[in-house]
Amino acid sequence: MSDTLALASLPLFPLSTVLFPGGYLPLQIFEVRYLDMVGKCFSAGAPFGVVSLNHGSEVRQAPSNEPGGDSFAQELFYPVGTLARITSLSRPQPGLMLIQCTGLQRFTVKSHELMKHGLWVADVTLLPSDQQVPIPADLKAVATTLKRVIRTLQEQETRADQMPIQPPYQMDDCAWVSNRWCELLPMALELKHRLMVLDNPLVRLELVNDLLEHNGIPI
Whether the Cβ atoms of residue 98 and residue 28 lie closer than 8 Å to each other: yes
Q: What is the pTM of this model?
A: 0.89
Q: What pLDDT, on the 0 to 100 scale, is given for residue 74? A: 78
Asked if 109 and 79 count as a contact pair (C-beta separation under 8 A), the reply is yes
Contact 156, 144 (CB under 8 A): no
Q: 42-91: per-residue pLDDT in tens?
A: 999 999 999 999 976 666 654 444 444 444 457 899 999 999 999 999 99
Q: What 3-state DSSP class applies to 217?
A: coil
211: alpha, beta or left? (left if phi > 0; alpha if psi -120 to 50): alpha
Under 8 Å CB-to-CB from 137, ≥6 apart: which residues? none
pLDDT at residue 122, rounded to an integer: 97
pLDDT at 73 (0 to 100): 53
